[in-house]
Chains A and B, each alone.
With several copies, the nearest count.
Chain A
Amino acid sequence: MAKGKKVPEKILRQVPFCPGCGHGIIVRLMMECIEELGYNDNVLIGKPVGCASLLDNALAVDTFTGAHGRNGASMTTIKRLKPDMLVVSYQGDGDAYNIGFSETMNAAYRNEKFTVITINNGNFGMTGGQMAWTSMPGQVTATSVNGRNVELSGMPIRVPEMIASSFDTAYVARGSLFTPAEIKKTKSYIKKAMQAQIDGVGHSLVEVLSPCPTNWGLTPLASMERIVNELVPYFPLGEIKNKGGK
């Protein structure tokens, strides 16, 4: 099965993440999908505040620097004013589910026709690994040094499920990265999500369970193991909603 594979040309330089960080894979998948869908020259990516901030100047496509958490709002007006443009909001879990919860949910509520990719790495990577709403019970983070106490801080949040069950959007899925097969599935979710946008079906969101070896204090491979063993049982993988094409 000899087929050429090359990092999309719109990725200008090496991504600046820690060794084994899932962001590197997900950014590549996103850029591959954009390229394959033929939108290299009609696309805008909403960049969040978080480790993805490090993408500055790395992508040769229009990249909007959002306020922390608020790209659900900013992408809304961009997409409404430029309905033919492919608009993709790339967001961390802290960004999309903590500070930006209202904006993320409201965009889905209004069924805004853009695509969200959320990177669920269970903490605030950028700022040194504080607890996120996706951190697991008992997880040690910089703001839960004795392990997350869900009595005081609630059980980890599953936003994709909330959106799928509460709002009339087009597409919701959750993928991961722990094997080549999972990576390929995740890519197919991202592509379908973008396709739903292109077809005007509605809002789409793909969450990706992604390793943060640095803040998890694990090797990259052990981080992937943790995803399989600890996260997937709580954050089930697969398509959660698919309204199909037009």
Chain B
Amino acid sequence: MSKVIVSKDKCKQCGYCVKHCPKQAISFSADFNSSGFKYAVVDDSKCIACGMCYTTCPDGVFEITE
């Protein structure tokens, strides 16, 4: 099964993935990453590994494994 790996420290909180995840599986963290941003968090139970988050993210936060 595919899975999404999130490199949280790369996230800059732009919100593109949150907006475009077809399953609303992504939300922002409560805390900050090392760069001072609230980062994207994926709800694995909702995620269908469609890769939309990978596609929209400008900062290479996501990896979809096979």
- Known contacts being A19-B12, A220-B15, A221-B19, is A2 close to B66, with CB within 8 Å? yes
Interface assignment of B52: CB less than 8 Å from any CB of chain A? yes
Report whether A25 and B58 are in contact in the complex, using a CB–CB cutoff of 8 Å. yes
A11→B58 CA distance, assembly (Å): 12
List CB contacts (< 8 Å) of A1-52 with chain B.
Answer: 1-7, 11, 14-15, 17-25, 28
Interface assignment of B27: CB less than 8 Å from any CB of chain A? no
A151 CB to closest chain B CB, in angstroms? 36
A71 CB to closest chain B CB, in angstroms? 23
Report whether A7 and B20 are in contact in the complex, using a CB–CB cutoff of 8 Å. no
| Chain A interface size, under 10 / 10 to 19 / 20 to 34 / 35 or more | 20 to 34
A15→B12 CA distance, assembly (Å): 11
B2 CB to closest chain A CB, in angstroms? 4
Interface assignment of B41: CB less than 8 Å from any CB of chain A? no
A179→B16 CA distance, assembly (Å): 9
Select from chain B the residue with minimum beta-carbon distance to A222.
B15
| Chain B interface size, under 10 / 10 to 19 / 20 to 34 / 35 or more | 20 to 34
Report whether B66 and A4 are in contact in the complex, using a CB–CB cutoff of 8 Å. yes
A213→B1 CA distance, assembly (Å): 36
- Known contacts being A2-B1, A3-B51, A180-B55, is A15 close to B60, with CB within 8 Å? yes
A162→B65 CA distance, assembly (Å): 43
Select from chain A the residue with minimum beta-carbon distance to B65.
A4
- Known contacts being A19-B13, A221-B19, is A5 close to B60, with CB within 8 Å? no
Report whether B10 and A14 are in contact in the complex, using a CB–CB cutoff of 8 Å. yes
Report whether A5 and B15 are in contact in the complex, using a CB–CB cutoff of 8 Å. no
A28→B54 CA distance, assembly (Å): 10
A234→B51 CA distance, assembly (Å): 31
Report whether A17 and B58 are in contact in the complex, using a CB–CB cutoff of 8 Å. yes
Report whether A24 and B59 are in contact in the complex, using a CB–CB cutoff of 8 Å. yes
Interface assignment of A240: CB less than 8 Å from any CB of chain B? no
Report whether B15 and A11 are in contact in the complex, using a CB–CB cutoff of 8 Å. no
Interface assignment of A82: CB less than 8 Å from any CB of chain B? no
List CB contacts (< 8 Å) of B3-56 with chain A.
Answer: 10, 12-16, 19-20, 37, 49-52, 54-56
A99→B48 CA distance, assembly (Å): 46
Select from chain A the residue with minimum beta-carbon distance to B7.
A14
Report whether B55 and A15 are in contact in the complex, using a CB–CB cutoff of 8 Å. no
Select from chain B the residue with minimum beta-carbon distance to A11.
B60
A17→B12 CA distance, assembly (Å): 10
Interface assignment of A219: CB less than 8 Å from any CB of chain B? yes
Report whether A5 and B56 are in contact in the complex, using a CB–CB cutoff of 8 Å. no
Chain B interface (Cβ within 8 Å of chain A)? 1-2, 10, 12-16, 19-20, 37, 49-52, 54-60, 62-66
Chain A interface (Cβ within 8 Å of chain B)? 1-7, 11, 14-15, 17-25, 28, 177, 179-180, 183-184, 213, 219-221, 224
Q: Which 8 A-B pairs have the closest CB atoms?
A: A24-B58, A20-B14, A19-B12, A220-B14, A4-B66, A2-B2, A7-B60, A5-B64
